[in-house]
């Protein structure tokens, strides 16, 4: 010991450098151990080798210190410092990657809700203090609604507002009341312009209204379904594009603007990809009685509702979800230096802030590299915009399916760009983008396990094309157009895409086959004509099919016997207003509602005497259930235009495509 301490300065340097080296080694080992399931053998060997080198350097330092071989001691100290610095650098970067992946994992215990007090843009009021005490404030009558009732009550109490409140059955009813001048201030979800702005007649909410006051509230989440399935087993992923102007996903609205379901079988290295049209008419898991609606509205209740909704109608388990907001797509593409895409036609689209004019995004036809804004515009576009751009940029036909194909092309282009990332700065930029713009229910360990899957895929990508190595099978959902009254919801006549039962079944079967849940049916016969070009069959794509949706017809002009016959067959109770005996002149539920949503209907016959007690048409049980209830129901339901109905049709089916003047959402 005396020999070691004879040269105090050298001994102090030895202690400090040794402690630094051991600390850096421990820090590195800790971070290497976080990388579970990634190159386990290589990590183990690396730690053993590093441990041996550290031990050798320390022993040499002790030896040279005892004999005080100055030059050799300095050399060993330098090697120890370099090794410690290298280990710290590697450990720091591993820790940063791991920390980012931890942020991506959506394991927060609370959901943040936000509600705003809204008025017309023409109103001079700018703050709460500008509101007159005589003005009523519109709220939802549903006291369980966080955004429509709970937060508004807290605002009124917190700000000591003495204004009366006026209750409404839904947000759309409140918006209509505001637009019609029936009320000056209403409470809406803060993202109301995004949530309702895609509905016909409400596209200009961001221009015609403004926010007076906003308040947020954190609510503890209910326990969500999490998958413990290892990545080495076949799995499914729901990829959700969040329609948001915000850059940080935590501050984003959640409108399911882009929905894709992917299945992957790591044993066969095969995958399927399905784009779900946002207007698909399906049962919504979190709506009362799973009321059917367009699937994009499931996102209003969060990703768990969307996940369960898709599981129900596709009859598969969704193991994981990944959601990314549109601002994140722009940053992701730009960070990767753009993506290569074959653009089929010249187009124009609003930018990521939904702005036109000088901010309009233009994309030329042809194979080219798209930047972030262009890639997002390409993925978003689904119809021409002749009112915004000249004929050069609007001479094409598009729809939700073509948009789905474009979105798949962007996903594939991004996958092929990831393999080219070599710069550490690019990695850091990607991590920053991912941490703020992406979230998933996959655990950090499950995300790390994807490394081994991607490694196997890369081995099969002989030409460096990852998408070819993934053997992607594209699926397609076919259906028909229909306008359906959202009875029990917004009560609006909305465009919906009603899926064919056969198409849904074919898509579901293909996914189950890839997930190993079903055996693939072997095709034993194959015909080929050299004179006809071969076209690969797209599973789920068909020109016609069947569905189980029945819509309420217009009973105007029909006999009471026909009304009883139709409603009896569909489990709908019929009430008759007045004592008339002629044909139907009005009905309390508008034509076009899904009969599944209608439990009772009141019809008024020609010749009815006002204020007479209604009588039940199905029995002699004359309920004194009142005309008042009928009148209230009729007040809430907009009377449909009088149509010329078929004389005695059989059970009505879904109407055809909407008029050209009606634009699908």
- pLDDT above 50 (res 381): yes
- pLDDT value of residue 656: 37
State residue 433's pLDDT score. Answer: 83
Residue 332 sits in the same domain as residue 466: yes
139: β partners? 167
- Residue 76: is its pLDDT beyond 70? yes
Question: What letters, b where the CB count within 10 A reaches 16 and e where it falls short, cover 219-251?
Answer: eeeeeeeebeeebeebbbbbbbbbbbbbbebeb
Based on the fold, state whether residues 27 and 126 are members of the same structural domain.
no
Looking at the domain assignment, is residue 170 inside a domain?
A: yes
Residue 500 has a CB neighbour count (10 Å cut-off) of 19
Q: Final residue of a domain: which of 42, 69, 104?
A: 104
Are residues 463 and 359 part of one domain? Answer: yes
Q: What pLDDT sits at residue 115?
A: 93
| Element holding 305 (H helix, E strand) | helix 303-314
- Residues 143, 61, single domain; the answer is no
pLDDT digits (tens, 9 = 90+) for 459-471: 776 666 667 777 8
User: Within this chain, do residues 8 and 93 fall inside the same structural domain, yes or no?
Assistant: yes
Label the pairing between strands 615-616 and 584-587: unpaired
Average model confidence (pLDDT) across the chain: 83
- Answer whether 264's CB lies under 8 Å from 271's CB: yes
* Spatial separation of the C-alpha atoms in residues 450 and 439, rounded to whole Å: 16
Higher pLDDT, 345 or 68: 345
Examine residue 182 and state whether it is found in any structural domain, yes or no.
yes
| Residue 174: pLDDT over 90 | yes
Please check whether residue 453 lies inside any domain of the structure.
yes
What percentage of the chain reaches a pLDDT higher than 70?
Answer: 83
Residue 31 belongs to some domain of the structure: yes
What CA–CA distance (Å, rounded) separates 77 from 58? 9
pLDDT digits (tens, 9 = 90+) for 613-644: 333 333 333 333 333 343 333 333 344 443 33
Query: Averaging pLDDT over each range in 142-146, 248-252, 296-300, which range is the top one?
Result: 142-146
Range of the domain at 577: 560-636
Residues 46 and 118 in one domain: no
CA–CA gap between residue 14 and residue 80 (Å, rounded): 10
pLDDT of residue 627: 37
User: Tell me, what DSSP letter sits at residue 105?
Assistant: B
| C-beta of residue 499 within 8 angstroms of C-beta of residue 477 | yes
Angle at 394 between CA 390 and CA 397, to 5 degrees: 165
Residue 246 has pLDDT above 80, yes or no: no
Q: Which of 146, 341, 318 is nearest to 240 (CA)?
A: 318
Task: State the pLDDT at residue 245.
Answer: 60
Q: What is the pLDDT of residue 3?
A: 58
**CATH at residue 344:** 3.40.630.190
340 and 446 share a domain?
yes
Q: For residues 555 and 112, which has the higher predicted lDDT (pLDDT)? A: 555
pLDDT at 376 (0 to 100): 93
Please indicate, yes or no, whether residues 455 and 352 belong to a single structural domain of this protein.
yes
**pLDDT the model gives residue 512:** 96
pLDDT (average), residues 235-259: 71
Question: Looking at the domain assignment, is residue 67 inside a domain?
Answer: yes
> Does 152 fall in a domain?
yes
Better-predicted residue by pLDDT, 345 or 248: 345
Cα angle, residue 296 at apex, residues 292 and 302 outer, rounded to 5°: 100
pLDDT at 500 (0 to 100): 96
**Per the domain annotation, does 245 fall within a domain?**
no
Look at 479-483, 531-535, 642-646 and tell me which has the smallest mean pLDDT: 642-646
Distance CA 24, CA 103 (A): 25
In angstroms, the CA 268 to CA 456 distance is 11
The per-residue b/e assignment along 12-46, b for 16 or more CB within 10 angstroms, e otherwise, is ebbeebbebbeebbebbbebbebbeebeeeeeeee
* Statement: residue 353 has pLDDT above 60: yes
* Domain end position, chosen among 52, 75, 104: 104
Burial call 320-348: b when 16+ CB within 10 Å, e when fewer: bbbbbbbbbbbbbbbbbebbebebebbbb
132 and 99 both lie in a single domain: no
- pLDDT (tens digit per residue) in 506-516: 999 999 999 99
Mean pLDDT for 121-134 is 93
Structural contact between residues 352 and 373, judged by C-beta atoms closer than 8 angstroms: yes
- Res. 597: pLDDT tops 60: yes
Q: How far apart are CA 488 and CA 473, in angstroms?
A: 38
Q: What is the CATH number of the domain that holds 141?
A: 3.40.190.10
Picking from 69, 104, 139, the residue at the C-terminal end of a domain is: 104
pLDDT band with cut points at 50, 70 and 90 for residue 275: very high
Q: Which region among 83-92, 191-200, 483-492 has the lowest average model confidence (pLDDT)? A: 191-200
**Taking 70 as the threshold, does the pLDDT of residue 524 lie above it?**
no
Nearest to 501 by CA among 344, 313, 652: 313
pLDDT at 488: 84
State whether 89 and 29 are in the same domain.
yes
Q: Grade residue 68 by pLDDT with cuts at 50, 70 and 90.
A: confident
* Domains of the chain: total: 4
Given 3-state DSSP classes, what are the helix, strand and coil percentages for the chain, each rounded to the nearest 5?
40, 20, 40
Q: What is the pLDDT of residue 463?
A: 63
Same domain (yes/no): 579, 619: yes
Whether residue 391 is found in the same domain as residue 425: yes
Q: Confidence class of residue 256 from pLDDT cuts 50, 70 and 90?
A: low
Question: Comparing C-alpha atoms, which of 188, 172, 141 is closest to residue 492?
Answer: 172
Query: Is residue 636 classed as helix, strand or coil in its secondary structure?
Result: helix
Residue 118 domain-assigned (yes or no): yes
Tell me, yes or no, if the pTM score tops 0.75: yes
The mean pLDDT of 262-289, rounded to a whole number, is 92
């Amino acid at each position: 010991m005396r020999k070691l301490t004879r040269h105090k300065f050298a001994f102090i340097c030895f202690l400090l450098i040794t402690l630094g080296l051991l600390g850096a080694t421990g820090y590195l080992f800790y971070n290497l151990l976080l990388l579970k399931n990634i190159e386990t053998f290589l990590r183990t060997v690396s730690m053993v080798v590093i441990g041996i080198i550290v031990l050798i350097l320390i022993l040499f330092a002790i030896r040279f210190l005892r004999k005080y071989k100055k030059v050799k001691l300095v050399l060993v100290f330098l090697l120890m410092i370099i090794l410690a610095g290298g280990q710290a650098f590697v450990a720091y970067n591993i820790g940063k990657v791991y920390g980012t992946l931890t942020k991506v994992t959506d394991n927060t215990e609370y959901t943040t809700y936000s509600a705003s007090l809204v008025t017309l843009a023409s109103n001079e009021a700018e703050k709460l203090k500008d509101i007159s005490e005589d003005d009523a404030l519109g709220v939802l009558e549903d006291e369980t609604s966080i955004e429509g009732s709970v937060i508004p009550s807290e605002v009124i109490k917190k700000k000591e507002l003495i204004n009366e409140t006026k209750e409404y059955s839904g947000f759309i009813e409140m918006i209509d009341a505001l637009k019609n001048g029936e009320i000056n201030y209403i409470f809406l979800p803060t993202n109301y312009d995004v949530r309702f702005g895609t509905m016909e007649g409400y596209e200009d909410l961001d221009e015609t209204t403004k926010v007076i006051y906003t308040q947020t509230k954190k609510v503890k989440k209910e326990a969500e379904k999490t998958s413990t399935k290892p990545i080495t087993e076949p799995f499914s992923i729901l990829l959700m594009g969040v329609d948001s102007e915000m850059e940080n996903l935590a501050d984003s609205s959640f409108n399911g603007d882009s929905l894709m379901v992917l299945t992957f079988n790591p044993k066969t290295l095969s995958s399927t990809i399905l784009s779900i049209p946002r207007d698909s008419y399906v049962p919504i898991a979190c709506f009362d009685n799973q009321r059917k609606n367009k699937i994009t509205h499931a996102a209003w209740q969060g990703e768990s509702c969307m996940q369960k909704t898709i599981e129900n109608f596709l009859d598969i388990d969704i193991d994981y979800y990944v959601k990314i907001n549109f601002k994140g797509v722009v940053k992701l593409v730009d960070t990767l230096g753009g993506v290569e895409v074959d653009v089929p036609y010249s187009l124009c689209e609003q930018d990521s802030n939904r702005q036109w004019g000088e901010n309009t995004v233009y994309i030329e036809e042809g194979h080219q590299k798209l930047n972030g804004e262009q890639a997002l515009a390409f993925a978003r576009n689904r119809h021409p915009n002749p009112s915004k751009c000249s004929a050069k940029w609007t001479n094409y036909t598009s729809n939700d399916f073509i948009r789905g194909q474009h979105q798949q092309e962007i996903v594939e282009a991004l996958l092929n760009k990831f393999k080219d990332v070599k710069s550490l700065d690019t990695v850091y930029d990607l991590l920053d983008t991912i941490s703020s713009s992406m979230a998933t229910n996959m655990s950090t360990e499950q995300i790390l396990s994807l490394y081994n899957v991607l490694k196997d895929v890369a081995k099969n990508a002989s030409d460096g094309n990852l998408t070819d190595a993934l053997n992607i099978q594209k699926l397609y959902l076919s259906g028909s157009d229909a306008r359906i009254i959202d009875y029990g919801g917004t009560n609006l006549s909305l465009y919906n895409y009603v899926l064919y039962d056969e198409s849904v079944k074919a898509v579901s079967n293909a996914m189950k086959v890839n997930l190993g849940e079903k055996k693939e049916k072997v095709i034993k016969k194959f015909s080929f004509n050299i004179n006809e070009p071969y076209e690969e069959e797209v599973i789920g794509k068909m020109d016609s099919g069947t569905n189980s949706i029945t819509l309420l017809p217009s009973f105007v002009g029909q006999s009471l016997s026909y009304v009883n016959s139709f409603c009896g067959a569909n489990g709908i109770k019929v009430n008759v207003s007045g004592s008339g005996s002629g044909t139907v002149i009005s009905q309390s539920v508008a034509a076009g509602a899904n009969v599944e949503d209608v439990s009772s209907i009141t019809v008024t016959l020609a010749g009815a005497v006002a204020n007479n007690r209604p009588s039940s048409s199905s029995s002699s049980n004359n309920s004194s259930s009142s005309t008042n209830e009928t009148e209230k129901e009729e007040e809430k339901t907009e009377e449909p235009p009088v149509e010329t109905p078929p004389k005695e049709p059989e059970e009505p089916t879904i109407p055809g495509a909407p008029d050209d003047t009606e634009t699908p959402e």
